[in-house]
Amino acid sequence: MLDQIFPPMALPIALYYPSTPQINDPDSFTHQLKRSLSVILSRFYPLAGRASGDGEFIDCNDASVPFTVARLRGHKLLEHLTNPRPHLLLPCAADWGTNPGPYSAVMLVQVNLFDCGSVAIGAVFWHKVVDGSTLSVVLRSWGEAARGGKEAVYPNYMAQHMFPQKEKMPLQLGSTTDIVNTGKSIVTRYVFERSAITLLKLKSSDVERPSAVEVVSALLWKCFMYASLANGKSTSLLTQTVDLRRRAQPPFPPECFGNFLAIAPAISTNDDKVTLGALVRKMRDSIIKIDDKYINRMRGDLGLSGYYQNLQNMWTEYSPEFDILPISSLCGNNLYGVDFGWGKPLWFSRCDSINESMDGSVWNRIWLIETRNGDGIEAWVVLHHKYMSIFNQVKELTTLASVDPTPT
C-alpha cells in the first residue's frame, strides 16, 4: 500500500570513482559489474521486472536490468566535476516528473568511462518501488558482490504482508499537483562543512542537541521564507520525509524493501525574525506524531482507513494558500560506502541539471546528502527562478555555505 501511495517518479543518481589500477581494464571491470549485478538481482528480483501496463504492480518476470556502457571520448572526470551535469550520465532522461510508462524497466544502469580512466555509474530507479534506504542497500550489496565479499544482504519483503496492496487506490493519493508551478527551475548546490554546522547548532542552542540535518534544514527553510514572502506568500509549509523503519517500535530491519516513508508537515508564517531553534522545534513537533501508533494504524486490511486518519491528524492546519517546500534527507544511508573494489566514490550526486534553466513544470524541493568525509552536508536546492534570485541573496546562507563547489 505504501508503494501505491507514493507518486510515480524517477530516482536518478550517480557515483563517481577516480582512476585506480583496478579499473585500468574497462572490459574486465565492466564484466565484473554485470556479473555482480546479476548475482544480487536473484535477491532483489523486483528490480529485474517490468511495470505493468496500468502501473499498479511489477511483473517479476526476470526481464533484466538495461545496462549501458558509454565511452566519453575527449572528456576527463575533473573537467566534468568542474561543471557538473550529472543528468548526462544517465541511461535515460529522468527528472522529478518522469513517470515510467507501461512495461518500463524498474532499474536502469549506465557505466560511463572517462578518458582519464575514471568511472561514473549512473542509475535510475522507479521511486514507486524503492526509497533512499532501499536504494542504498541495493548499491552497497552490488558493491559487496563485485568485491567478492561473502556478507550477502538479503532484502526483507515484509511490507507486502504488513501493508497489503489495495485493489482500488484513489487517484488523488500521492498527487503532486498542489505543489507544481509553471516556469523555469534552477538547481544550486550548497555545501555546509563541519565548522558551519557547528555555528548553526550554536545559533539553535535554545533546543536540546539539534542535529546537523535539523539545523541545515531550518536555515534553508528560513531562506525559503524570504523568497516565499517576496513572491506574495505569507505562510510556508516544510515537509520532511520520514523513514518509518526507524520510527517503528521495535524498528523495522533496515533492509526492508520498498517505500517505508511518511511525510511530516511543519508550518510557519514567513517571519524574518523567526529563530532557527523555533523552526527546529516545529520540525520536531511534526515528526514526533509519526510514532508506532501512526504506523500500526496503516497495517493490515484496514490500513487504508488508517492512512486517511493519519492524513487528517497530520494536515489539520493545511491550506492551499501555503507555500510548500519538501525536504528529503539521504543522510545516514552510507551511500559513500558503495565500494566496487575501487574504494569509496569521490562524489555521490542526484542527477538534476545544475545551473540550467528550462521552461516547464517547477516543483520547489531540497535534497540533503552527507559529504564524503561524513561531517558535512550537501544540499541540492531546486527552486523556481523567481525564488532562487531571492534565496541566493540571504547573507547567512552565502556566508556559511560554499555555493556549487567543485567536488574533490
Please confirm, yes or no, whether 384 is among the known catalytic residues. no
Helix (H) / strand (E) element for 348: namely strand 347-350
By the 8 A CB rule, do 138 and 130 touch? yes
- Residue 61: which residues within 8 A CB-CB, separation 6 or more? 49, 50
- Give, to the nearest 10 degrees, the angle between helix 276-287 and helix 212-230: 110
By the 8 A CB rule, do 298 and 161 touch? no
* Distances 259 to 13, 53, 204 between C-alpha atoms, Å: 17, 21, 32
Residue 62, classified by CB atoms within 10 Å of its CB into exposed (0-12), middle (13-18) or buried (19+), is exposed
Q: What is the CA radius of gyration of the chain?
A: 21
Cell 559529504 belongs to 371
CA-to-CA distance for 402 and 371, rounded, in angstroms?
12
Compute how many other C-beta atoms are within 10 angstroms of the C-beta atom of residue 406.
Answer: 11
Closest Cα to residue 339, out of 186, 169, 136, 200? Answer: 136
Q: Which three cell numbers stand for residue 314?
A: 497530520
Query: What is the 3-state composition of the chain as percent helix, strand, coil, each rounded to the nearest 5?
Result: 35, 25, 40
CA-to-CA distance for 13 and 15, rounded, in angstroms?
7
Which one of the listed residues 87, 127, 131, 323 is annotated catalytic? 127
Region class of 64: left (phi > 0), else alpha (psi between -120 and 50), else beta: left
Q: Which three cell numbers stand for residue 254?
A: 533496515
Q: Which three cell numbers stand for residue 212?
A: 546537523
Longest dimension (CA), the chain: 59
Please confirm, yes or no, whether 87 is among the known catalytic residues. no
CA-to-CA distance for 29 and 24, rounded, in angstroms?
8
Whether the ω angle into residue 250 lies within 30 degrees of 0, i.e. cis, is yes
DSSP character at residue 177: G
Which one of the listed residues 59, 115, 339, 375 is annotated catalytic? 339
Active site residues: 127, 339
